[in-house]
Amino acid sequence: MIKAVVEIRLKPGVLDAQGKAIEGVLDQYDVEGIEQVRVGKLVELRFATDKDIEAQVETLCEKLLVNHEMEDYHYTIEECGDE
C-alpha cells in the first residue's frame, strides 16, 4: 500500500488563531524561549493502487484540501504496510 502525507500550513503573515491560543497559555507549563507557535493540518491518503498517485494528490490539493489564499502545502509519498 502507498500513503501520501500532505502537510498544510498557513502562509507566513496569516493570523494563526490556534497558534496564538497556545502561545497565550504557555506560561502555565514551565516552558521558556518559545517565540512562536503555528498550527497546521496533516492529511494522510492511503492508496490501494500505485497508478497516477502524484497526479491524484495534486488534484486533491488544488481542488479540495488546500485554501490557496491562506495556505501552502507540501506532500511526500511513501510505501506503508497495512498499519
Binding site for a copy of itself (CB under 8 A): 1, 7-9, 12, 22, 25-26, 29-49, 51, 56, 59-60, 63-65, 83
Q: What values do phi and psi take at 4, rounded to 5?
A: -105, 130
Shortest reach from residue 66's CB to a copy of itself, in Å: 12
Cell numbers representing residue 54 in the block: 502524484
Q: Which of 68, 76, 11, 70 is nearest to 45 (CA)?
A: 76
Minimal distance, residue 81 CB to a copy of itself, in Å = 12
Closest distance between a copy of itself and the C-beta of residue 69, in Å? 19
Cell of 82: 497495512
